[in-house]
């Protein structure tokens, strides 16, 4: 491999810059040329490709967002679009790609690799922690810390006014942010997509009268269609328990931003360097994951499989600690 392209795609996540830096520096260290591709797959199709040097990635490890920008690119969803992307790679002399993004981005990478026989390595870049085969994704720890700080503040007002708060966090089909966010803030409960089937999580809370001994309650709720979101929870409680003073806070996009935590910077740095090792090792179509602090190669097909299992131990811990 003489030249790699690096891109960030899908939703941005803190630590993506640290990953771009690590990929770039590890490649240059191994005498591999690097090209930065702007705006995810768009940059391949619309030819926004920049030669990267070591100092192209100076002073970014501490920055949130992504210097390569990110985008959702519908042209890349078609065979014709991916053909254009492939031709751009050939023209630019790019013989392998490192794709940093979520499950959609890695799905696209997998299809491109299959159609054109290109080595592609993925890095899990998403705050949702919803990729299989990795204990953590880049951005997840920072988002969790942001949630923790926000919920701590909401707790002050919740307890002063003796209110019940439903706080909506990101995660879509994955409850890790809500569950670990709840454990970290001492919240009453987390309502997560993984437990929507066969259990009425809100019903259980209602039947317990929330915590009778307590004058305020915090419940974290994963956004999205599966749980219905915090607003729907609040409406239901208002109907069944008019005596509760119920409020809703949707944390929204503040969860995506900010300077990455040390954990995310180190994770992104290790994974970025591992992506280059993987390519030199003739690995292709794998995502770099971390399991028990060991970097591992996870085939794309496994990484993007829906329904990452939730850690039941965490569910139990939250339950025990919120009596």
DSSP calls for 248-304: EEE-GGGGG-SPPPHHHHHHHHHHHHHHHHHHHTT--SEEEEEETTEEEEEEHHHHT
- Marked catalytic residue, from 128, 130, 141, 264: 128
Residue 77 engages ligand ATP in binding (rule: CB under 6 A): yes
Q: Which of 6, 19, 23, 73 binds ligand ATP (CB under 6 A)?
A: 73
Residue 107 engages ligand ATP in binding (rule: CB under 6 A): yes
Rg of the chain over all Cα atoms, to the nearest angstrom = 21
66 is in an annotated binding site: no
Residue 264 engages ligand ATP in binding (rule: CB under 6 A): no
Give dist(CA 20, CA 28) in Å, integer: 12
**Shortest Cβ 126–ligand ATP spacing (Å):** 4
Give dist(CA 189, CA 111) in Å, integer: 39
Residue appearing with tokens 């720890």 = 141
Give dist(CA 116, CA 125) in Å, integer: 24
Q: Which of 4, 7, 8, 9 binds ligand ATP (CB under 6 A)?
A: 9
**Shortest Cβ 81–ligand ATP spacing (Å):** 8
Q: Is the dihedral of CA 158, 312, 200, 129 positive or negative?
A: positive
282 noted as active-site residue: no
CA-based nearest residue to 142, from 172, 104, 106, 181? 181
Closest residue to ligand ATP in the complex (CB): 104
The helix (H) or strand (E) run that includes residue 232 is: helix 229-240
Residue 10 engages ligand ATP in binding (rule: CB under 6 A): yes
Nearer to ligand ATP by C-beta: 10 or 133? 10
Nearer to ligand ATP by C-beta: 41 or 210? 41
Give dist(CA 203, CA 209) in Å, integer: 10
Nearer to ligand ATP by C-beta: 172 or 195? 172
Nearer to ligand ATP by C-beta: 174 or 221? 174
- Sort residue 185 into left (φ over 0), alpha (ψ -120 to 50) or beta: alpha
Q: Which of 30, 56, 67, 104 binds ligand ATP (CB under 6 A)?
A: 104
The span of 56-64, 72-80, 202-210, 265-273 binding ligand ATP (CB under 6 A) equals: 72-80
Task: Note whether 68 and 22 are within 8 A (CB).
Answer: no
Give dist(CA 310, CA 182) in Å, integer: 14
Residue 65 engages ligand ATP in binding (rule: CB under 6 A): no
Give dist(CA 110, CA 106) in Å, integer: 6
- Cα of first residue to Cα of last residue in the chain, in angstroms, is 57
Helix, strand or coil, per DSSP, at residue 16:
helix
170 is in an annotated binding site: yes
The span of 8-16, 178-186, 224-232, 312-320 binding ligand ATP (CB under 6 A) equals: 8-16
Residue 287 engages ligand ATP in binding (rule: CB under 6 A): no
Residue 41 engages ligand ATP in binding (rule: CB under 6 A): yes
- Judged by the rule CB under 6 A, the positions of this chain that interact with ligand ATP are 9-11, 40-41, 72-73, 76-77, 101-105, 107-108, 111, 126, 128
Which residues carry a binding-site annotation?
11, 21-25, 72-73, 102-105, 126-128, 155, 163, 170-172, 186-188, 212, 214-216, 223, 247, 253-256
Which residues carry a binding-site annotation for ADP?
21-25, 155, 186-188, 212, 214-216
What amino acid positions are annotated as catalytic residues?
128
């Amino acid at each position: 491999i003489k030249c790699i392209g690096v891109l960030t795609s899908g939703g941005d996540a803190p630590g993506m810059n640290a990953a771009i830096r690590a990929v770039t520096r590890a490649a240059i260290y191994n005498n591999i040329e690097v090209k930065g591709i702007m705006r995810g797959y768009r940059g391949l199709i619309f030819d926004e490709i920049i030669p990267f040097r070591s100092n192209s990635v100076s002073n970014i490890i501490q920055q949130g967002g992504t210097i390569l920008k990110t985008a959702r690119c519908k042209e890349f969803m078609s065979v014709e679009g991916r053909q254009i992307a492939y031709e751009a790679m050939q023209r630019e002399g790019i013989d392998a790609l490192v794709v940093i993004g979520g499950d959609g981005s890695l799905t696209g990478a997998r299809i491109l690799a299959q159609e054109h026989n290109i080595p592609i390595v993925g890095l899990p870049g998403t705050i949702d922690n919803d990729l299989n085969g990795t204990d953590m994704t880049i951005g997840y720890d920072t988002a969790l810390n942001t949630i923790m700080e926000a919920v701590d503040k909401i707790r002050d007002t919740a307890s002063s006014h003796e209110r019940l708060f439903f706080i909506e966090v990101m995660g879509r089909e994955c409850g890790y942010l809500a569950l670990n966010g709840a454990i970290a803030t001492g919240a009453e409960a987390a309502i997560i997509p993984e437990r929507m089937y066969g259990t009425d999580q809100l019903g259980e809370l209602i039947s317990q009268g929330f915590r009778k001994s307590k004058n305020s309650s915090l419940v974290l709720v994963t956004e999205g269609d599966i749980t219905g979101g915090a607003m729907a929870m609040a409406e239901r409680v208002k109907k069944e328990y008019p005596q509760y003073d119920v409020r809703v806070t949707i944390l929204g996009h503040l969860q995506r931003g900010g300077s990455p935590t040390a954990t995310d910077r180190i994770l992104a740095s290790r994974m970025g360097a591992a992506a280059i090792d993987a390519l030199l090792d003739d690995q292709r179509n794998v995502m770099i994951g971390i399991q028990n602090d060991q970097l591992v190669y996870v085939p794309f097909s496994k990484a993007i499989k829906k329904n990452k299992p939730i850690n039941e131990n965490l569910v139990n811990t939250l339950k025990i600690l919120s009596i």
